[in-house]
Structure 1
């Protein structure tokens, strides 16, 4: 029977205890949710998914676990040292271990039976914490990944774009070139964290849970990797569940309540850790994830920024400096080149902020702004050829700078998919 969020008992059904603990000079605040009057209870520390989270984001599940006789610690995620540009799984793992130490000191808790629970990003962090301390008795993960964060993100982004009807060069750019540049530029910290060595080092029992309709984590690959890496495991797949094990129709929406049996399974498993390993069959995926490789020597971030600045300067040069002979092709090159580069920057920002949702209607697998940019790119190439002819005739610096911009534009546009199919 599914336990819907709206059906959960109010906080009065569990005894709450405020706790604080410190790691790396940062004091974190949490709440222990436990059944009133309990003794020698197993304990569970809930480790957050990515982004900003408070303890209240997990209270409903903590209360469900408390009703099953588990003392659960939920805490406010650190903000110091955690952002889009800065994060450390090592630090987050030490936060979790500090929480484990605080929970083990509680009088109602059996210190030998305290484990960690991790959702999504927490599926990287919780095993890492367990690998560092024998004080962690077990691990529970939801929507955990067996692949690197960059690879998972590329798979998730492609799912979203394909859901919107997109295909072709924009999808390839967004899931490869853009992610690789962001990671190299420091906008995607921990992009290449490899979870497999940590999984192979674990000796604690692990309960791994996935939704078969997960569109953020490649669940089939995760089940396979966990099964081949862990020493002791229970791996379960819920058929009509999404990333957070909420009920769903397609993986993208959230229906009321959790997947039937999820909350009860955690309670039963924690109270009676299995001695043998079992695993459900990996759920099918529409396509496998693909590795997002680090930048090669010839495509560093500084070179991309330099090319961008040069293109803007070269295309703006021609209309700003009006001395010398004019050519229709040169005017076209200055206009189409400048509009294309600025337009690409705008589309790139919108793509990152809205995951493609604000790019408008899609025609032949391309949102209209991207289709327009591709047509402008073709026009820019044609105008570059015409400008080369004009420069050959007149040999002026004004035309030379503009032509240089057109020449640089071609490989730049190919690299970013503007001249791709």
Structure 2
């Protein structure tokens, strides 16, 4: 018993303390540069940081954009720190801001143009910042923000380069349906059930919102009634009720329905076709959120048809988070990235600004 107490007190407990402390340090890195707290205004006030590397300016700069969701998209999250440090090491200043959150906006009414407006305000702030080389500013989109980066570049033709990480230049519906199919298959539905029941019902609902917004049908007409009848049937179905856990459409709210329609019909591809700057797309081969194969095929065709300067990197075994071994979301930032991943992006960006010298 005394030996056990000795082991617990002097070996196991200190060892656990060391492991926990090391994990905290690994999972919460610091920005490796001079940090300036910043605030700027879109149609709301936004806060973030501008981190500058060692040495004298003016510095090339990169704006790091956020992923989806209204929480866990703050500028000081570990994801941003690892990516910022990779660019800081190559001499870039890095700007990051916290995404507008549920405290600032009702997400029932948000549209991608709101997020685009925030990014435009950030670019304007960065362009006017001291010690920043305004001719060498790049942007990095992450997942959701990669939808509107082509439009951001189109509206800011002086942006030097674009990196999109697990993002898509395809319209929103193509990506949503890919995600629905992946999730449904993972939950045990057959491919036939997904193709013949689940996807058609979701397509019908999405089309309903869009048609209302385009004034093609009435918000309270026959199509709404028929959709609700089918939703009720599916909700009460022994098998499909596991997926359709709602039995009717939301009550009609003109602003909510219009916002939903605008989100569903958002399409970055017309802007993607028009922009002519170097682009890097970093993709995951086993991505359940983004249809990687379709995206890569589209990028390759665009290189041929439109003469675009696009570099494509696919990690075949990676999931949406680009961790090794296909690991999904978890406390894996930094130490589970592929060995060449961060340097790949930072070196590519450095090459683009050096070519501009």
Q: TM-score, normalised by structure 1?
A: 0.58
Distance 1:209 1:12, change over 3 A: closer
Q: Are the structure 2 counterparts of residues 69 and 176 from structure 1 closer, same or farther at C-alpha, using a change threshold of 3 Å?
A: farther
State the alpha-carbon separation in 1 of the partners of residues 55 and 196 from structure 2.
57
| Unaligned residue ranges in structure 2 (runs of 5+) | 1-22, 210-256
Query: Based on CA coordinates, which of the two structures has the bigger radius of gyration?
Result: 1
Distance 2:132 2:28 in 1: 22
Q: Which of 245, 252, 259 is 2:322 aligned to?
A: 245
The residue that corresponds to 1:211 in the other structure is: 284
CA deviation after TM superposition for structure 1 residue 66, in Å? 1.6
2:273 to 193, 200, 210: 200
Give yes or no for contact 2:285–2:314 (8 Å, CA) kept in 1.
yes
Contact 1:90 1:128 in 2 (8 A): no
Match of 2:300 among 223, 227, 236: 227
**Secondary structure of 1:237's match?**
strand
**Counterpart check, 1:270 vs 2:270:** no
CA distance in 2, matches of 1:106, 1:242: 36
What secondary structure, in the 3-state scheme, does the structure 1 residue paired with 2:49 have? strand
1:176 to 200, 203, 213: 200
| Counterpart Cα distance in 1 of 2:81 and 2:111 | 25
The SS at the match of 1:11 is: coil
Correspondences of 1:97-108 after superposition (within 5 Å)? 97-108=120-131
1:176 CA drift (Å): 3.0
Decide which of 47, 50, 65 is 1:29's aligned counterpart: 47
- 1:274, 1:37 → 2: CA distance? 17
Query: Compared with structure 1, are the counterparts of its residues 207 and 232 closer, same or farther at alpha carbon in structure 2 (3 Å cutoff)?
Result: same
- Name stretches of at least 5 consecutive residues in structure 1 with no aligned partner: 277-421
Q: 1:123 to 1:50 in 2, by over 3 A?
A: same
Q: Which residue of the other structure, out of 65, 69, 74, is the alignment partner of 1:54?
A: 74
Aligned residue for 1:106, secondary structure, equals coil
CA distance in 2, matches of 1:160, 1:9: 30
- What value does the CA root-mean-square deviation take over the aligned residues? 2.9
Distance 1:223 1:36 in 2: 37
Q: Give the aligned partner of residue 152 of structure 1.
A: 175
Displacement of 1:13 after TM fit?
2.5
Give the whole-Å Cα distance in 2 for the aligned partners of 1:232 and 1:43: 20
Q: Shift of residue 19 of structure 1?
A: 1.5
Pairwise CA distance, 1:269: 1.1
Relative to structure 2, which stretch is displaced further, 236-245 or 260-269?
A: 236-245
1:16 maps to 2:38: no
Matches within 5 A, 1:2-401: 7=26, 10-11=29-30, 13-23=32-42, 25-52=43-70, 53-57=73-77, 58-79=80-101, 84-167=107-190, 168-169=192-193, 172-182=196-206, 184-185=208-209, 186=257, 187=260, 189-229=262-302, 231-249=308-326, 256-273=335-352
Moved more, 223-232 or 191-200: 223-232
The higher relative CO (CA closer than 8 Å, separation ≥ 6) is in 2
Who is 2:254 aligned against?
none
Within 1, Cα distance between the matches of 2:200 and 2:25?
Answer: 41
Residues matched between the structures, number? 272
